[in-house]
Amino acid sequence: MEIVSFTACRRRPVVDAAGEPVGRLQDLAVQLLGPQPAVTKLVVTTPDREELVLGWDAVAAFPTGPADPVRLREAAARLTAARLRPDEVRLAVSVLDKKVVDTARKRVVRVNDIELGLAEGRLVVHGVEGGLRGILRHLGSEDIAERAARAVGLKLPHESVPWEALEPVETELTRARREAVYLKLARMHPADIADILEELNPSERAVILESLDEHTAAEAITEAEPEVQASTIQMMEPGKASDILEQMEPDEAADILDDLPQAKAQELLETMEEAEAEDVAELLEHGEDTAGGLMTTEFVSFPPNLTVGKAVEWLRAEAREAETIYYLYVTDPGDTLCGVVSLRDLILADPGKRLAEVMTTEVIQAVPEDDFRRVAELFTKYNLLALPVVTEAGEIKGIVTADDVLHRLVPMLWRQRHAKKYL
């Protein structure tokens, strides 16, 4: 397959079967199907500055030489104008100079040129090019720069990305079409999606998240930096934003809403399902750096009279919905914390015994007002994976998990380390 530069093809003369000028090539349209989408239409600018759209079947020859014209099969008078279909995308309008996601290298690339593959009379999109060389070619200065680089013993690098590894960011596609386009992105790890989101502006992030399913979007935005989370949610349509917040753990959703303007946070709370909104609203009443602000209201609790066997049966059926199952909390009908059972102890216990017989009654716990330092000290001192948060009356309100502490602690340590460079 011979590779042709899109920027070198643009504005190339287009002639009819007799060699008479028809205009200049302005753009190419493709259907975004398969690993190498085929060019389906040509957009030609006529001498009177009108656009003429022609189907690819009208092309007799598409030479690769920079000065060679595109030759059509028919005389100009017999050409039939075509129309772009809704699922066809113009390369110059929707791809060139736009951002795309390189899912193989997990990064954002600005498209400075498009690589076209020509084989057996068919023209397909082979990939895109970013970097300095693509910019220079786009500006018509590639040859000069390459000669200058060779003169000093350097070589201009090619930053080529195959099309099958790409996801567009800035497109004119409909929402339904975007959902199909972002399949590759959706299969990436949420932390990698978050890294990519952080390279985009808020409106671009919103476009991508609105096109992903709510569960994937929620996992991705949870991994992003707090300022990215807030600015992205603020840019999104309220219905979609609230759907994503509902998929998140209540404490994570509360952290995002706490960073939003009060009016926007209230709007999203009112759009959320009532049960989820109540959990989040309860957490918003506590300070961000307190046990109450760090905790999640989703945890596993059982009554004291439940048998070990029945508890295990429930976990097998329902535990995937819980944030952590390292500990099971034993509570009375008034939600007073009576004891705790580790998952290890539960598995080793006699299935016929009641939880009250195997639970530990001396429970390490925090109150909602405890500050982050106190919470972190308890996790470190007692090697905890989760910490229950209870009121003074003993009612369990939620749990703080080890990852909640880690997510808050790592940025603090990083800031301290960064500040020492300037001391």
pLDDT of residue 171: 54
Q: Which CATH architecture is the domain 188-285 placed in?
A: Alpha Horseshoe (1.25)
**Residue ranges of the chain that CATH labels 2.30.30.240:** 2-161
pLDDT of residue 68: 87
Task: Note the pTM of the prediction, 2 decimals.
Answer: 0.69
pLDDT of residue 132: 62
Q: Per residue in 228-274, pLDDT tens?
A: 999 999 989 999 999 999 999 888 899 899 999 999 999 999 999 99
pLDDT of residue 53: 95
CB 177 within 8 A of CB 141: no
Class of domain 301-407: alpha beta
Question: Is 310 exposed, middle or buried (CB count within 10 Å of its CB: 0-12, 13-18, 19+)?
Answer: middle
pLDDT of residue 154: 64
Work out whether strand 13-15 and strand 70-72 pair parallel, antiparallel, or are unpaired. Answer: parallel
The CA radius of gyration of the chain, in Å to the nearest whole number, is: 30
Across the chain, mean pLDDT equals 85
Residue 350: DSSP 8-state? -
Q: What residues contact 37, with CB distance under 8 A and at least 6 apart?
A: 30, 31, 124, 125, 163
Nearest to 325 by CA among 298, 362, 291, 305: 298
pLDDT of residue 419: 40
Q: List Cα–Cα distances, 156 to 64, 150, 151, 159, 408, in angstroms.
A: 22, 9, 12, 10, 43
**Residue ranges of the chain that CATH labels 1.25.60.10:** 188-285
* Coil/strand/helix, residue 138: helix
CA distance 128 to 162: 7
Taking the domain 2-161, which CATH number applies? 2.30.30.240
% of residues, the chain, pLDDT over 90: 51
| Strands (E) located in 309-395 | 327-331, 337-342, 386-390
**Residue ranges of the chain that CATH labels 3.10.580.10:** 301-407
**Sign of the dihedral defined by the CA atoms of residues 105, 108, 113, 115, in that order:** positive
CB 114 within 8 A of CB 166: no
pLDDT of residue 357: 96
Helices (runs of H) and strands (runs of E) counted in the chain: 20, 19
CA distance 305 to 357: 9
Q: Going residue by residue through the chain (423 aa), what tens digit of pLDDT does each one get?
A: 788 889 888 889 999 999 999 999 999 999 877 788 899 999 999 999 999 999 999 999 998 776 789 999 999 999 999 999 988 889 998 888 888 888 888 888 888 889 999 887 889 999 988 766 556 655 666 566 566 656 666 666 567 889 888 887 765 554 445 555 677 888 889 999 999 998 888 888 888 888 888 999 999 999 898 889 999 999 899 999 999 999 998 888 998 999 999 999 999 999 999 989 998 998 898 888 899 999 988 888 999 999 999 999 988 887 666 656 789 999 999 999 999 999 999 999 999 999 999 999 999 999 999 999 999 999 999 999 999 999 999 999 999 999 888 877 765 544 444 444 433
pLDDT of residue 27: 95
The contacts found for 251-254 with CB under 8 angstroms, 24 or more apart, are: 251/283, 251/293, 251/294, 251/295, 251/296, 251/297, 251/398, 251/404, 252/222, 252/296, 253/280, 254/280, 254/283, 254/284, 254/293
Q: Per residue in 104-135, pLDDT tens?
A: 888 888 888 899 998 878 899 999 887 665 56
| In the block, residue with structure tokens 């772009």 | 84
